[in-house]
Amino acid sequence: MKLQLATADGRVVAVLNTETATVYKKVNASTHMLRVPQAWTYDKSIIQKVYDWMETHKAAGTVKPDIEFIIYAEDENKTYRLTWRRFQEVAYLMKWRQDARYEQWAIPLKHWSIDGERYQLELF
């Protein structure tokens, strides 16, 4: 089953696939990637909905142990991936720059894996 995930202002920006335990978002990096620092972001309400869904289904044993976030940057033809566990380690809450009433979770680009690319180990 696919659940549409909407921001606080009602825009559907991602989909939670409950069968594959993935949160999928299709964007253009040129307009949606945070530039300073380079990061992908999720509206606070989106992450809350994912968390609520996991908690609801955890007791029933119907949720996979780790949800994966997938962002497809159409203009770059790149697919970025991050696990829920990694999200919890590296994401930080920030005010949305366009409207300080909204908060978003930022995950620096260095923490994402990109399909088809090799990574060197982080030294810092």
| φ and ψ at residue 26, rounded to 5 degrees | -110, 125
pLDDT of residue 124: 42
CA neighbours closer than 13 Å in the CB half-sphere of residue 46: 26
Model confidence at 118, pLDDT cuts 50, 70, 90, reads low
pTM across the whole model: 0.86
In sequence order, what are the residues at sequence separation of 6 or more whose Cβ sits closer than 8 angstroms to the Cβ of residue 122? 110
pLDDT of residue 123: 43
Give me the residue spans of the domains in the chain.
2-114
SS3 50: helix
Q: Which helix (H) or strand (E) holds 32?
A: helix 29-32
pLDDT, tens digit, for every residue of 45-84?
999 999 998 888 877 776 666 799 999 999 999 999 999 9
51/53 Cα distance (integer angstroms):
5
pLDDT of residue 65: 63
pLDDT of residue 117: 74
74/25 Cα distance (integer angstroms):
10
pLDDT of residue 55: 86
pLDDT of residue 35: 87
Q: Which of the 8 DSSP states describes residue 65?
A: S
